[in-house]
Amino acid sequence: MSEIPETASDVVWQSSPPGSIYDYIKVASFSIGHDGLVDQWSDRAVELFGIAADEARGKDPVEVFMPAELRPRGRRRLAEILDGKEWTGLVPFRMPGGSQAHGLAEIYVMPSETSQGEQGALCIVLDVRALRRIETDLAASQAIFGQSPFGFLLFGTDLTVQRANQRFATVFGGAAEDHRGRTVHDYLSRPEAERMNASLRRVLETGDPVTDLQIVGTAPGSTDRRHWSINLYRVHGGSGRPVGVAGVGTDVTRRHIAAREAANARRNLALLNEASARIGNSLDLETTARELLDVAVPGFCDLASVDLYQGLLTGDEAPPGQWGSARSEGFGGGSAELRRVAFASAVSDAPLMTTPGCAPEGSAPTAVGEVHRYPFNSPCAGALRTAAVRSIPGEDGSLVQSTLAVPMVAHDTVVGLVQFSRTKGSEPFGERDRALAVELAARAAVCIDNARLYRREHERALILQRSLLPPGDPEAAGLDIACRYLPGTTATEVGGDWFDVIELPGHRTALVVGDVMGRGLRAAVAMGELRTAVRTLALLDLEPAEVLSALDEIARGLGSPAKGGRTSGGAQVPSRVAHTSRDADLSEVYLATCVYAVYDPVTRRCTFANAGHLPPVLVEPGEEALLLDVPPGMPLGVGGEPFEEVEVEVPEGSLLALYTDGLVESRDHPLEEGLRAFRAALADPVRPLEDVADHVLGALDTRHGEDDIALLMARIQGLPTEAVGDWRLPREPRSVGRARELARAQLTAWDLEALVDTVELLVSELVTNALRYGEGEIRLRLLRDRTLVCEVWDAGLVQPRRRRARDTDEGGRGLQLVGLLSAAWGSRRTPRGKTVWFELALPDGEGSAEPTVEQLLSMF
């Protein structure tokens, strides 16, 4: 666009470039001679009227141009012009091309005089319709510049502002004329101005418009960031030559804010969905805290940390308010001990976070795993105390712009604090961000509290379960014992598998392995009840089949509802409540498998009974592992079927293994495959038994976590012949003295002279009782192992009963004497009668204290 000279001295005679006003409107000229005929005809006249100069010169203009009905009037007007009168008016004319359409011209007639003094006229003709179009365009242009609600700029080819409308001037100050000659650098920051200039050049060079160019800047006198949408298009002159670029700008700040809020809302929803999917997948407190930070960083913030109350992590049973309460100030007013359990950062090389005002002056940042306290008046302590979010601005020179301290509240109890921080340059936290932070913290808090409750119940169940297993390494006469117990996965650690080693009279040992079907605390409780029942039945010295039969009745009682009802005339009448309870508890019937074995080290024979359990494995020296053919029977709790016994002789050095199905069966390894692998792992039983047990667990798939694993292994050693004294005595009075002599001689041979007097006294009592109250032949047996056991056998079925003798009684003190002087005593049934026994600690062992004078006198 050409510049207009300011003064006359600036005027230079030069050709006007294309695009002047004459390119937009049609201006023609011709002259009329003194005879009223056309004597000159311009090229523009040829273009406007469509009549060649040869055809127009010498012609009457009225005849040539005007329609027939207007010619009389035209001749009168022409006569007035030739008389020297100026005239301006609108004159219709015929359009070129022979059409019937008429044009409309505005003619300015100026009288003229030739050099001969003859009168003529000069006519200037304008196409009125073209002029009307220009007027319309000017009005539209004026509307755009003066009335448009959008900012409008017209840039010249040198990219300077040629014109601005009032709307633009209202935003950027001053009058519209004040912006002429400015560039985009006067309005925008350098990066944005360079982007704008590049777009202007591209539009000017290519002619391709640019739409919705997003520009960010600030208006004069304001620090608020504004967003404008700019549309650029090239402007052409009448000849088609580019004369500049027009730009229309719209303030889209509100739209941008709305779009940003919508994007934030979508992001928040996505974060909540992600939080629902990722937080709480573990029942571990620390893992749940890390899952929260994995969701929050970097999707929600740049830095984050989680602090949990130390009491919660250590499993303390705190009263309400101990860790903090949403309704009260809680323990320590928010200043109780906390542990930093997780920290995450999206900033490379970011230091550990220290929230302003939440740490003592000069203290180092809190590391993960460190226990700390927040000062009482700190914002973090206030958030814990009030269960309300605190917004904490960052310090000057700090990386952090702002921090949200959000208490973690679950079930009206504050369990910890999570801090979300954004670095400088990030968008500050808004109200929706605060709401999202509270929601994220609340979801994590519920999961953490659930994990706490699970950990508490889980630890209780483990304590219960482990308290029911044999402590340490069990010991037994004539056996070398090794045992292993592996719980399932963390989620199934509490199960119903158990094993036990029970010492029986006569240095015999009961080996028990069982498995209550199911998992969890209920299975562990049922296991504890069955294990207790087994120990109780074992102490009655019942046969293995009898033990399992009694245990089957007990198992059915565990799963049966309490029977009750009113009585009518002594008859039990089932109540509706009892029926309802029975129906409701059908799913709680306990089933269990169990194998019960009794080993006698004197005879080296083992008696087995099986209730639906996997068969024991026996490995004799130099032989392959063998699955013992023990009738499996029905599981405990089913009832209705008797159990069978199998007696097996086990040679010295043999290895006996009892186990549960978790050792040999899993989802990936069927039972048959597991049994083959188990037998193969026992192929070399010569090694120390503990090493054999470790080898078995290492060779088999014991990490599947699907079920508990119990393994009980025993190496047969037996009692040597020299450790057993066995005699048969006739049923006659002198057998009492003979029994004392035999016992004295045997103890002397064993170097146990310290026990001779006590043993003689007690043997005399038991043999005397056998003679007085028993039947048949009498048998005396002494067994020496870790303790000394004396047994007296007879064919009588009446069990001895200890009673307290009165002062006037002459007898009845024998069994009291036995109970007082022995470490233990008792009686048991045998297939051919009964056995009465007592046990004494060896002199170098842990024996019972010698009886006091008062105890001895109390017997008489």
Helix H segments across 148-252? 166-172, 190-206
Strand order in the sheet with 495-504: 495-504, 508-519, 592-600, 605-611, 645-649
* Mean pLDDT of the residues in the chain: 81
Q: What share of the chain in percent tops pLDDT 90?
A: 26
* Highest mean pLDDT: which range of 251-260, 741-750, 822-831: 741-750
pLDDT higher than 50, residue 625: yes
Q: Which residues pair with 408 in a beta bridge?
A: 416
Q: How far apart are CA 663 and CA 620, in angstroms?
A: 21
The pLDDT assigned to 70 comes to 80
Q: Confidence class of residue 455 from pLDDT cuts 50, 70 and 90?
A: confident
* Highest mean pLDDT: which range of 439-448, 556-565, 584-593: 439-448
**Phi, psi angles (nearest 5°) of residue 154:** -120, 115
Average the pLDDT over each of 15-19, 49-53, 281-285, 312-316 and give the range with the smallest value.
15-19
The candidate with the shortest Cα–Cα distance to 526, out of 538, 537, 517, 535, is: 517
CB of 711 closer than 8 Å to CB of 696: yes
Average the pLDDT over each of 19-33, 368-382, 504-518, 780-794 and give the range with the smallest value.
19-33
Average the pLDDT over each of 89-98, 624-633, 847-856 and give the range with the smallest value.
847-856
More confident residue, 242 or 22: 242
CB of 69 closer than 8 Å to CB of 41: no
Q: How far apart are CA 520 and CA 303, in angstroms?
A: 40
pLDDT higher than 80, residue 772: yes
The pLDDT assigned to 715 comes to 92
pLDDT digits over 691-710, tens only? 898 899 888 877 765 678 88
- Domains of the chain, start order: 13-132 (3.30.450.20), 148-251 (3.30.450.20), 283-459 (3.30.450.40), 469-561+586-716 (3.60.40.10), 722-858 (3.30.565.10)
Q: Which amino acid is at 465?
A: Q
Q: Which amino acid is at 168?
A: F
CB of 693 closer than 8 Å to CB of 482: yes
pLDDT digits over 312-346, tens only? 887 665 544 444 555 444 444 566 889 999 999 98
Q: How far apart are CA 192 and CA 185, in angstroms?
A: 9
The pLDDT assigned to 587 comes to 44
Mean pLDDT, range 785-800, rounded to an integer: 88
Q: How far apart are CA 605 and CA 626, in angstroms?
A: 16
Which helix (DSSP H) or strand (DSSP E) does residue 423 occupy? strand 413-423
CB of 432 closer than 8 Å to CB of 264: yes
The pLDDT assigned to 293 comes to 92
The pLDDT assigned to 311 comes to 82
Q: Which residues pair with 403 in a beta bridge?
A: 392, 421
More confident residue, 110 or 142: 110
Radius of gyration for the alpha carbons in the chain, expressed in angstroms and rounded = 56
Q: What share of the chain in percent tops pLDDT 70?
A: 82
Alpha-carbon distances of 857 from 226, 624, 848, rounded to whole Å: 108, 61, 18
Alpha-carbon distances of 490 from 421, 462, 707, rounded to whole Å: 34, 11, 11
Mean pLDDT, range 672-679, rounded to an integer: 89
Q: How far apart are CA 150 and CA 136, in angstroms?
A: 20
Average the pLDDT over each of 154-158, 525-529, 768-772 and give the range with the smallest value.
525-529
Average the pLDDT over each of 309-323, 597-611, 724-738, 757-771 and give the range with the smallest value.
309-323
The pLDDT assigned to 340 comes to 92
Mean pLDDT, range 797-817, rounded to an integer: 68
Strand order in the sheet with 87-94: 38-41, 27-32, 119-127, 102-113, 87-94
pLDDT higher than 90, residue 658: yes
Q: Confidence class of residue 265 from pLDDT cuts 50, 70 and 90?
A: confident
Q: How far apart are CA 582 and CA 562, in angstroms?
A: 8
Q: How far apart are CA 737 and CA 743, in angstroms?
A: 10
Q: How far apart are CA 796 and CA 846, in angstroms?
A: 34
Mean pLDDT, range 67-76, rounded to an integer: 82
pLDDT digits over 541-552, tens only? 889 999 999 999
Q: How far apart are CA 590 and CA 559, in angstroms?
A: 5
Q: Which amino acid is at 569?
A: G
pLDDT higher than 70, residue 490: no
The pLDDT assigned to 292 comes to 92
More confident residue, 143 or 855: 143
Mean pLDDT, range 400-426, rounded to an integer: 90
Q: Which amino acid is at 150?
A: F
Mean pLDDT, range 93-119, rounded to an integer: 76
pLDDT digits over 634-648, tens only? 999 888 789 999 999
DSSP 753: G
Q: How far apart are CA 545 and CA 543, in angstroms?
A: 6
Alpha-carbon distances of 788 from 35, 496, 753, 825, 845, rounded to whole Å: 168, 36, 13, 12, 11
Q: Tokens standing for 259?
A: 């779009």
The pLDDT assigned to 231 comes to 92
Which helix (DSSP H) or strand (DSSP E) does residue 349 occupy? none
The candidate with the shortest Cα–Cα distance to 556, out of 635, 615, 479, is: 635
SS3 776: coil
Q: How far apart are CA 266 and CA 277, in angstroms?
A: 17
413 contacts: CB under 8 Å, gap ≥ 6? 320, 323, 324, 325, 326, 449
Q: Confidence class of residue 728 from pLDDT cuts 50, 70 and 90?
A: very high
Residue with tokens 């006590």: 758
Instruction: Count other Cβ atoms within 10 Å, centred on residue 673.
Output: 14
698 contacts: CB under 8 Å, gap ≥ 6? none
Mean pLDDT, range 835-856, rounded to an integer: 67
Mean pLDDT, range 471-483, rounded to an integer: 82
Alpha-carbon distances of 124 from 41, 65, 265, 387, 445, rounded to whole Å: 11, 14, 70, 90, 92
The pLDDT assigned to 198 comes to 93
The pLDDT assigned to 807 comes to 55
The pLDDT assigned to 299 comes to 87
The pLDDT assigned to 60 comes to 85
846-855: long-range contacts, CB 8 A cutoff, minimum separation 24: 847/823, 848/822, 848/823, 851/820, 851/821, 855/820
pLDDT higher than 70, residue 135: yes
Mean pLDDT, range 292-311, rounded to an integer: 90
